Structure 1
C-alpha cells in the first residue's frame, strides 16, 4: 500500500515538494531545521502568573530548602569568573539552582499529573501534534496562549484544513517561523483528513528512534503490524519529527492501537501489557523529566541514555514524594533537595 494520491495533490496545491513530508519539527533544545521567517521573540521572563516551558498550568509549589553552595557549584564549576549580576527572581526556577533552562519543577509523585500540556491534550492526538509544532523552539509562556487562540479560531480538523495561510500566519506571527508553522499545521490537517492515523498502517521515519531505522522501508510504503520493521502510524504526517513522535508515542499510541484506553495502561487488554511510554527515550528535556517522574512513581531511577532502571532507595522515594525542583546532570534529572550525600543519582531530602 502507499500514501493516498490525495496527499500528493495537497502538496501540489500548497506548492510544496514531496520532501516536505519528511521535514522534522526539531527538538526545542537542539538546533532546528526551521528557517526563520522573522527573528524569534526574546525568551520571556517568568512571573508568578505565568508558567514554565510546555506546562499547561503553573505546577504546585513544594517546600524547597535554601540552595547550598554545592548545588550552585553544579552550574558554576567550569564557568569563567565574571562580574556578579543581580539574581532573576522566579517562583519556579530559583536562581541559585543554576541555569533556569536546565531546571524544572517536580511535583510529588502522588500528584495526579506532572503538568505538561501533552497530558491535557492526550485525548486529542491531532491537537497534541499541533501543540508540538507551536512549542518547537518556543517557550510555553509564549506558545500556549497563542495555541489556544488558534484552537478557538479553528475548533475542528476541517476548520484547520480550510484555514487561510495568511490568517494563520498573522495569528502566530509572535512565535517566529510563522510561515513554516502555518504551512505545517494546515498540511497536517489536510493530510489527517485524507489519510488519518489508524492501527495496522505504519510508515517510515528515517533514523527514528535510532540511526538507520526506516531505511529498509520505501518512501511511499505502508506496513502492517505483522511487519517487524520500524515504522509509525503518524510518520506520514507533515511536520512530525522526533519531538512530535515521542510525545505522541508516550501519550496517544496505546489508545490508537486498542491496547489501553489511555497512556497509563487503564483498561489494558493484555496481562503482559507494557505502556508505550516505557519504551521511549526522548531527547526533549521536558519529556525526559516527565518520564523520570513516571518511573519514580513506580520506584525506579531511569537513565535517559540507555533506558536502564535502578531501584530507588527509601530515602530517594521520600524525596520524590515531597517533590521539589530538579536540574539536569549528564543528561539525567537530579532532584534538588539536600546539601549532603547523593543517593543513586537523586539527592535525598533531610
Structure 2
C-alpha cells in the first residue's frame, strides 16, 4: 500500500509502523478536554485515515470557543495539514433513558444458629447422585426456575435406574424451559448410566484437568484412577460426564466426607479421626451461592473468610452480632460482607437461590 506523504508524516510522529492502518487496532483515546466521546470524521481527510486530533502535537482551540456555540457545529483547523475537521457527538435518543448502574449484588443471610442456609445442596447432601443432577440443572439458571423443574424430574424419574433408562425426547421436553435442554438431558442420562456401572467409590479418584488449580490433573492419564494414599489432585466423581467445577465444589462440600467414611455428614458429625477437618474448609468455589454458604459456615466458627485465598481473620464483635440475627450480605470483590447495621426481617424479595 502506497501511503500519501501526509499520512506517513503523521505515523512517523506517533512512532507507528507504516502498516499500522491495515491492523485491527486504533490510536489513543481522544483528548479528554472535550468531555465527549468523539468519532473520527474520515471524510474530511481525503489522503489519510488518521484524525489529526490523535496527534500529540495537535491542540484544538477549545479555549477560544464561544460557550454558547455547540461543539457539534464547530470545525477545527489542523495547522499541520491546513485541513478542517469537525468532531461528531454521539446522538442520544430522548426516548430511551440512560441505563442505571448495575445494582450491588446482595444475598439474605440467616442467623448463624439457623439449621440451614437454604441451598438445595443441603437437602440433597445424603443423595449425591441427585445433588450432582441438581448442579446440572442450576448451572447458568436461576434457582427459582431450575428447582421446580428439578423436583418434577425426580418425581417422574425417582431412581438412578429410571433416569438411566429415560427416553431422551421426553426428558428434553420436561426441561425445555431451562435452556440448553438437549445438553442437560444427555448429561443427566449419561451420568446415571455410568453411575450404575461405575459409581463413585472410596479409594478411586480420577483426574479433572486444571481443577482446583491450573495444571492439576496433568500428571494423571485420562483412563487412570488413584487411591487415597496418592497425593495428586483427583476426585471420586471426576470420571462422570459433564461434571465441572460447580458440581465438584458442591459435591466436595456436601458429600465427600460421607463417601470416604470420615463423617456422617459434611459438618463433621461422628468424625472418628482425631483432628478431622471437614472437606468444605478446603474448597474455594467460584459460584456466588457456594461462596455465600461458606462465608456463613465460617462465621459460625467466628471467622471472616476470603474466598480467593482461603485466608481467615477473626470476626469482630459487630460482625458476630450481625451474624446472630437475620441480615443481608453484599458482594465486594467476590467476597460476601455481612451488613452490620440492623436489617429488617422483610428482605424485599431477595432469595438465596437467585
Normalising to structure 1: TM-score of the pair? 0.69
SS at match of 2:228: coil
Match of 1:159 in 2: 162
- Equivalent residue in structure 2 for 1:285, among 285, 288, 301: 288
Match of 1:218 in 2: 221
Distance in 2, Cα, partners of 1:160 & 1:301:
41
- For residues 1-350 of structure 1, the aligned pairs below 5 Å read 83=97, 99=103, 102-338=105-341
Structure (1 or 2) with the larger CA radius of gyration? 2
SS at match of 1:334: strand
Runs of 4+ in 1 over 2 A off after TM superposition: 82-86, 336-339
Where does the alignment leave 5 or more consecutive residues of structure 2 unmatched?
A: 1-95, 343-354
Distance in 2, Cα, partners of 1:271 & 1:223:
25
- CA deviation map 1:28-63 (0-9, x unaligned): xxxxxxxxxxxxxxxxxxxxxxxxxxxxxxxxxxxx
- CA deviation map 1:237-288 (0-9, x unaligned): 0111000000000000000000000000000011210000000000000000
- CA shift for structure 1 position 315: 1.4
Task: Describe the shift of the 1:85–1:226 C-alpha distance in structure 2 as closer, same or farther (beyond 3 A).
Answer: closer
Where does the alignment leave 5 or more consecutive residues of structure 1 unmatched?
A: 1-81, 87-95, 340-350
SS at match of 2:218: coil
- CA shift for structure 1 position 226: 1.1
Distance in 2, Cα, partners of 1:220 & 1:83:
56
SS at match of 1:326: strand
Normalising to structure 2: TM-score of the pair? 0.68
- CA deviation map 1:109-139 (0-9, x unaligned): 1111000000000010000000000001000
What is the alpha-carbon root mean square deviation over aligned residues?
Answer: 1.7
Distance in 2, Cα, partners of 1:300 & 1:283:
20
SS at match of 2:293: helix
Match of 1:7 in 2: none
Distance in 2, Cα, partners of 1:173 & 1:159:
19
Distance in 1, Cα, partners of 2:125 & 2:103:
30
Would you say how many aligned residue pairs link Structure 1 and Structure 2? 247
- CA shift for structure 1 position 317: 0.3
